[in-house]
Amino acid sequence: MTGLFTSLLAGVGSIVATMEEGEMLEDSVETVAAATQFLPEWSSFWELIIRLMINVVTVGIIVHAFYYPKAKRRDYYFTFTLIGVSIFMLIFLMGGVKLKIGFALGLFAIFGIIKYRTEQVPIREMTYLFVIIAVAAINGLATKISYFELIAANLVFIVTLAICENTVWMKHVATKLIVYDNVKLLRPEMEDELKADLEKRLGLNIIRIEVGNVDFLKDSAMIKIYYEPVMDEFGTIDNVTKGSKKF
């Protein structure tokens, strides 16, 4: 899914970049030819400060209020914060060469391709990464709209995440893979006994059970249980092993 999504973004970015190639080259030449000033234009400087503050506050709320309380991953907290600031500064300060949409989509494609090869990033973290990049790109590129509209656009992300992360109206069901040692209870008519045995051993309120591979020689089977979590379970060992080829 991630590979397909990345390919689509890269394709769109290439098309848009090709359409704007002539304008980009012309503006790049003019930019290089212009002399660098020591003192800034104060109107542009204050615009940078205001937009940076809007971006930092929005990213801070997303990471600190929504992501971190459930995941408790300080490494991703660090990563999301720096990516939000870095992409905003890069896009805003490079706005003079008018790369616009092609450049923004290119950033999405680059980060999608890199995807932190040293570790498989879970889908929840990838979603937050995409949101952070989108917020930074909007705050850096949307220079033709008012600050009121820009703040409203940032609030859309915050409100949407608040709704999606709310567990009051959306109940979270956790899953766990278990190697079970009593294949006699795997028959359909023994479902209640199987559920009672697992709840007694695990101390969990099990909602549903799925039976996978059964090994009669070892008298074991791989089963997947759906249960009501005692606490928020994000970034746990179960989430890491679910995608393992061993299962």
One domain for residues 96 and 184: no
User: Residues 3, 238, 240, CA angle at the centre, nearest 5°?
Assistant: 35
Q: For residues 50 and 184, give the distance between their C-alpha atoms in angstroms, rounded to a whole number.
A: 67
Q: Within the chain, where are the H helices?
A: 2-19, 21-33, 42-60, 68-71, 74-93, 100-114, 123-141, 147-165, 191-202, 237-241
- The answer to whether residues 27 and 103 belong to one domain is yes
3-state secondary structure of 31: helix
Eight-class DSSP state of 41: P
Q: Is residue 37 part of a domain?
A: no
pLDDT digits (tens, 9 = 90+) for 3-56: 444 444 454 445 445 445 545 544 544 444 455 566 666 677 888 899 999 999
Query: Among residues of the chain, what percentage have pLDDT more than 90?
Result: 23
Domain boundary (98, 131, 165) is at 165
Q: DSSP letters along 119-149, please?
A: S---HHHHHHHHHHHHHHHHHHH--SS-HHH
Please report which confidence band the pLDDT of residue 99 belongs to, taking 50, 70 and 90 as the band edges: low
Residue 180 included in any domain: yes
Domain containing 211 — which CATH number?
3.30.70
Banded model confidence at residue 151, pLDDT cuts 50, 70, 90? very high
Tell me the chain's radius of gyration from C-alpha atoms: 25
Q: Is residue 246 part of a domain?
A: no
Lowest mean pLDDT among 135-144, 177-186, 236-245: 236-245
Domain span at 122: 2-31+42-165
* 11 and 128 co-located in one domain: yes
pLDDT score of 143: 80
Distance, in Å, from the CA atom of 19 to the CA atom of 39, rounded to the nearest integer, reads: 35
pLDDT score at 112? 58
Same domain, 47 and 159: yes
pLDDT tens, 182-215? Answer: 888 888 888 889 999 998 998 888 888 999 898 8
184 and 226 assigned to the same domain = yes
Q: What are phi and psi of 122, to 5 degrees?
A: -60, 160
pLDDT value at position 103? 60
What is the rounded CA–CA span in Å between residue 137 and residue 133? 6
Same domain, 112 and 138: yes
Q: Could you tell me if 13 and 134 lie in one domain?
A: yes
DSSP conformation class of 183: G
Span 109-129, average pLDDT: 68
131: nearest Cα among 50, 52, 58, 57: 58
Domain count, the chain: 2
- Of 107, 133, 165, at which residue does a domain stop? 165
96 and 149 fall within a common domain: yes
Residues 215 and 158 in one domain: no
Q: What is the pLDDT of residues 212-235, one digit of tens each?
A: 898 888 888 999 999 887 665 554
Is 247 inside a domain boundary? Answer: no
